[in-house]
Amino acid sequence: MNEQALLGLADDELVLGWRDSEWTGIAPLLEEDVAFSSIAQNEIGHARAVYELVVGPDGDADALAFDRKPEEYRCAPLVELHVLDWAHTIARRWLYEVADEIRITALKGDPDPAVAGLAAKIDREEAYHRMHAEMWHERLQDESRFRAAVDELWPYALGVLPAELRGELVERVGLAQVDAVDRGTHTDELAPLWEEMTMVRRSAPAGAQW
Amino acid sequence: MVAEAQVWKALEQIPDPEIPVVSLVELGVIRSIDVRNGHVRIEFTPTFLGCPALEVMKRAMEEKVAGLGAEPEVEVISDDSWSTDRITPAGREKLRAAGFAPPAPREASAPRLVQLQANVFRCPYCGSTETRLENIFGPTPCRSLRYCESCRQPFEQFKTI
């Protein structure tokens, strides 16, 4: 597994973790307040573990996570989007989890045992995110607002995966292959998120103390 | 000179920071202890990767080992080697007594929603299996919320990992 692909995975999980945490305190149901907070915490935990793997035992995972410029992040545009309604939020969670399952399944077969072992650990936790996404998908799949949100986010979802894994996503989601919004480009919505995400780190370069 | 058995005994005194009824040893998160010339190397497997108690557990282990007069080294192993199956029988019983339903056994494939919705999870208060899933997620990453239809008591279920 090359480092750029691992960074793509870690950056996706970090940025989506931040986006999901935006529902903490304001989700439409108390259960979802708990669910989104817990999912966000898991995703950021996965990001940390992958950054630690990339930098090695003596490296600084925080520096990798927070000291890059927004344009240097390898996340997919799907996770950057600042979605403000429930239909788009659930559409993104569902599309992301389907794509992420395909990616993590492939990583479990990686020749590097450290990568394959971590992927297996992540997969056990992601199973609960998939259940949550599937439960909502089942509930909303016939709603026109949800369908419209899925259609709108579909080109972004394709961009989560490398070209060779997209066929499986097309099959699972049941939509036609279209031009993907690829990784490597960024939306305008990443920069404001980056400002917030790195604020403590930038304001206390020697390390914040509580 | 410190012996391995002494280290295990010392670590048995560290409670889980979030569920203090069980110790780290009962939780099964200590994979191995290697003692060499006053140097103690502990292989530690996190429950959930995003668990905020990781650093607290790590520090507590280091302090216990230092208290024995040895030099600690805690290595965090981020692979799939920890499972809820590693919680000891004594640990499971303590969880149950404290109102946490112990985890179901791990299967080869990851759990699915239909399994969590099945009537197989036992209420830690009255023993009934007439319980339903309230929320896959709970107050910490390792717990789900369930409700007992028999004694009308909500309770927390340890997730199978």
- What are the structural domain ranges in chain A? 3-203
Q: Give which of B140, B157, B51 is closest to B104, Cα–Cα.
A: B157
The pLDDT of residue A143 is 98
Q: Where are the beta strands (DSSP E) in B77-130?
A: 100-101
> What is the CATH T-level fold of the domain A3-203, as seen in this structure?
Ferritin (1.20.1260)
Place of tokens 């905020």: B52
Which pLDDT value is given to residue A1?
A: 62
What per-residue confidence (pLDDT) applies to A2? 84
Q: Hey, is B147 helix, strand or coil?
A: strand
Residue B87 falls within a domain, yes or no? Answer: no
Per-residue pLDDT tens digits for B131-147:
999 999 999 889 999 99
Is A10 touching B (CB cutoff 8 A)? no
Number of domains in chain B: 2
Neighbours of B40 (CB within 10 A): 24
Residues B57 and B109 in one domain: no
- Distance, in Å, from the CA atom of A37 to the CA atom of B59, rounded to the nearest integer, reads 26
Note whether B40 and B103 are same-domain residues: no
Q: What type of residue is A206? A: A
Within 8 A of B116 by CB-CB distance, chain A residues are: 131
B21 assigned to some structural domain: yes
Determine the residue type at A174.
Answer: G
* Domain encompassing residue B16: 4-76
- B69 & B120 share domain: no
At A86, the pLDDT band (50, 70, 90 cuts) reads very high
Classify residue B82: in a domain, yes or no.
Answer: no
CB within 8 Å of chain A, chain B residues 107-146: 110-113, 116, 134-141, 145
Domain match, B70 and B120 both: no
Q: Please answer yes or no on whether A42 and B161 come within 8 Å at the CB atom.
A: no
What share of chain B has pLDDT > 90, as a percent?
Answer: 80
Tens digits of per-residue pLDDT, B55-69? 899 999 999 999 999
Strands annotated E in B4-118: 30-36, 39-44, 71-76, 100-101
- Chain B residues close to A39, C-beta within 8 Å: 137
B84 within some domain? no
Q: Does residue A79 contact residue A14 with C-beta atoms inside 8 Å?
A: no
Q: Closest partner residue to B135 among A35, A43, A121, by Cβ?
A: A35
Give A27's contacts in chain B (Cβ within 8 Å): none
Q: B27 and B61 share a domain?
A: yes
A115 in reach of chain B (CB within 8 A): no
User: Where residue B14 sits, what CATH number does that domain have?
Assistant: 3.30.300.130
pLDDT tens per residue, range A152-166: 999 999 999 999 999
Apex A26 CA angle, A131 and A11, nearest 5? 60
In a domain, B60, yes or no: yes
* DSSP result, B37-60: TTEEEEEE--SSTT-TTHHHHHHH
d(CA B115, CA B113): 5
Length of chain A: 210
Contacts of B81 in chain A (CB under 8 A): 117
Report yes or no for ipTM above 0.95. no
